[in-house]
Structure 1
């Protein structure tokens, strides 16, 4: 009869080997892990192009679809709404059916939605009868939007299974910020290839082709490595059945420290997302063009990507997620406060400088927050904590977009220099970002568990008993 292994925090499962090894498990990583990470990045890039196909070129899109600006904004808002609705499903599928199947399912949704949009471009549309093209466009946009959480929620889970403790945060950073990189890239490329209303059809076709191309790298992903890269990954690899997703969600939602982290993460994600989306509206009363506003947003995104590439590998080495996040949320909040006074006429240099600092501080918080969310909820599965963090942040973003739209007052901004949306963002960032961040207690449960398992393995080996993850 096969022996049974008991793992703390996991189910009891049979171990099939008749003779248990007498040597410690050797943790190793495989170069193929980068294939999966690249596949996630490519999917996020494709998602960014599909998401911003119309909102990156509103004038051309309105002429092509014969619709109002509200409908063009709706194509973007649908992505946030669909994300909130599909986040629980994507998390459940990732845990139940595995990373590869979850990614392939999301990629398939994106392909179907993208090609429905293209079919819509073949339908005649006039100002008197725009319904057919518009209906297919919105249906395709909703289906494609439903795919996004399958790509954005998976990086921490993939990093936990394939990367060691010295590379997890970097892998999470690359996978997570790829969606922001995609948005910046789409904002540059889509306007360049969409010259007029007639070229919108070509752009939609290109995005549909990109969605198909993004599927193929996922076919090369292995579900899990042959041997574990870390003690926590070894524990996950020994399980034959993951903990039910709803139970994992319940554990995370009843963790006070995680709830604080969720509020902080959601606050700053919503602040950055809404600021990026509406920066043209915030600056227009002061005489800045849409192109200039685009430069501010691009500066924030690209500087943020550069800052994350530098800071997150250091986090991988030193593991000070909590302390680092506190510093970054203070800097970010200070920049939002400064923008209240900096968004003025003929101060483009100052706005650009603040955007750069804001990008560096803000984008560094995202991967650090995702990794710290996994740490303080361990042994809850990474897909559960990540789904909650991203889902709440997207819901908050939708609420922000509505509130900021109501608060926007061009006359007040132009005559008295008062910018109500920026005041709202700054106050919210301080009250619901900085304050809760300093209420979070330092907890590195996964790191502590891994160190305990390493010590246990060493002790068991000295006693010539079974090594890691088996009862000594």
Structure 2
């Protein structure tokens, strides 16, 4: 492949810029997750209304995933920069007025930007890293997305009062603006690998969806995404009857995401080197099911820490592994293919969260439902062994 554009410095700078923006999208998304009650009191709205500040993100992602993927496949650099700028703009809009209306406006703008950024995780590595470094690049980019969740939880732990919420929003806006500037400078200064153009008679969506492996990965993504989102949303309520306080549950979830960041940054790299993608997916799903069964039968502080941390450590790395397979499979339509994966995952998150939400007063049943959902996906993960082996053979010179 040839390089396009000027080449200065390490092309990893582009990955660093992308990682900062990826973290920024999650920071804006979850800013109020740990201060819902405080925010509701400050802005004079219900806790449900504050919840919508986060819920607009997965809802709009399902709608915009494919259009944003198509934009990235046609105008990658412009589309990604637009996502970074819109994320910063959304964060800044929340500073215009100290009321719920401006908060919601900022969240909507940032939620439009999110698929432009997250869909680009495979494209940024495919365009700015050689093939040998792409699994590492995808692992780093994905881990940074989860790291943004950690930053959001940490900020909500620091800025806990009504009077401190504006400061939290200023800190968030500063981070988002800085991340956008770093990415823009990095993309202007770094050359990129050429990506084969689509044939005139083929659309990116047709290329992505016509691939049986991509369709199978989309179906598989529904299950781990669904369990993780449902667990993150309702763990505190489901563990409360067992004597787990809200503060303790927040710490458990924070440790869960930190474990996921570490796992996503390390495990996929080792798995790809050992050619064990299918095995890791099977292990992560089976371990998640076992952890959910443990929580169903023996809920408590200790089991909560052990089970939910295990879920984060093994389940979240499934995402970069799946995305790395997508990058290898669809170089000409990677944005759209990644969009399909993210869309399926967000759809799974919405559906499973709704089901678990209906069972929130019945923790035993809720945890068992999540266990069953994880188990259902195990045969599909095992069946990927042969297609992945064929993909690896095709990738070898």
TM-score, L = length of structure 1: 0.77
CA distance in 2, matches of 1:104, 1:255: 29
Structure 2 residue runs of 5 or longer lacking an equivalent are none
Counterpart residue number, 2:269: 313
- Aligned: 1:73 with 2:51: yes
Structure 2 vs 1, CA of residues 321 and 336 (structure 1 numbering), >3 Å: closer, same or farther? same
Q: Report how many aligned residue pairs link the two structures.
A: 393
Counterpart residue number, 2:170: 205
Counterpart residue number, 1:118: 95
CA distance in 1, matches of 2:334, 2:70: 11
Alignment of 1:184-263 (within 5 A): 184-192=150-158, 194-222=159-187, 236-237=194-195, 239=196, 241-242=197-198, 247-263=203-219
- Aligned: 1:430 with 2:375: yes
**Aligned-pair CA distance for 1:257:** 3.1
CA distance in 1, matches of 2:340, 2:30: 24
Counterpart residue number, 1:61: 39
User: Does the 8 Å CA contact 2:119/2:342 hold for their aligned counterparts?
Assistant: yes
Alignment of 1:382-461 (within 5 A): 382-409=334-361, 412-413=362-363, 419-431=364-376, 433-444=377-388, 447-452=392-397
**Aligned-pair CA distance for 1:187:** 0.5
Specify which structure has the higher proportion of helix.
2
Alignment of 1:10-89 (within 5 A): 32-89=10-67
Deviation per CA, 1:166-220: give whole Å up to 9, x if none.
Answer: 321111011112121111221112230x232122222222222222111111122
Structure 2 vs 1, CA of residues 353 and 32 (structure 1 numbering), >3 Å: closer, same or farther? same
CA distance in 2, matches of 1:213, 1:225: 18
CA RMSD of aligned residues (A): 2.6
Counterpart residue number, 1:466: none
Question: Of residues 182, 196, 201 in structure 1, which corresponds to 2:148?
Answer: 182
CA distance in 1, matches of 2:201, 2:384: 25
Single out whichever of 242-251 and 162-171 deviates more from structure 2: 242-251
Question: Of residues 103, 114, 130 in structure 2, which corresponds to 1:164?
Answer: 130
Counterpart residue number, 2:314: 361
Deviation per CA, 1:88-111: give whole Å up to 9, x if none.
Answer: 23211211112x322210122122
Deviation per CA, 1:21-45: give whole Å up to 9, x if none.
Answer: xxxx9xxx98522111111111122
CA distance in 1, matches of 2:118, 2:16: 13
Deviation per CA, 1:233-274: give whole Å up to 9, x if none.
Answer: xxx44x4x4457972322332333332221222210121122
Single out whichever of 253-262 and 106-115 deviates more from structure 2: 253-262
- Aligned: 1:92 with 2:70: yes
> Whose Rg is larger?
1
Counterpart residue number, 2:286: 330
User: Does the 8 Å CA contact 2:26/2:145 hold for their aligned counterparts?
Assistant: yes
Structure 2 vs 1, CA of residues 81 and 134 (structure 1 numbering), >3 Å: closer, same or farther? same
Structure 1 residue runs of 5 or longer lacking an equivalent are 1-6, 8-14, 16-24, 122-132, 229-235, 414-418, 453-472
CA distance in 1, matches of 2:225, 2:190: 32
Structure 2 vs 1, CA of residues 293 and 245 (structure 1 numbering), >3 Å: closer, same or farther? farther
Alignment of 1:275-294 (within 5 A): 275-294=231-250
CA distance in 1, matches of 2:110, 2:121: 19
User: Does the 8 Å CA contact 1:328/1:365 hold for their aligned counterparts?
Assistant: yes
TM-score, L = length of structure 2: 0.90
Deviation per CA, 1:431-470: give whole Å up to 9, x if none.
Answer: 2x11222333522455434423xxxxxxxxxxxxxxxxxx
CA distance in 1, matches of 2:245, 2:200: 51
CA distance in 2, matches of 1:84, 1:152: 13
Structure 2 vs 1, CA of residues 421 and 30 (structure 1 numbering), >3 Å: closer, same or farther? farther
- Aligned: 1:102 with 2:46: no
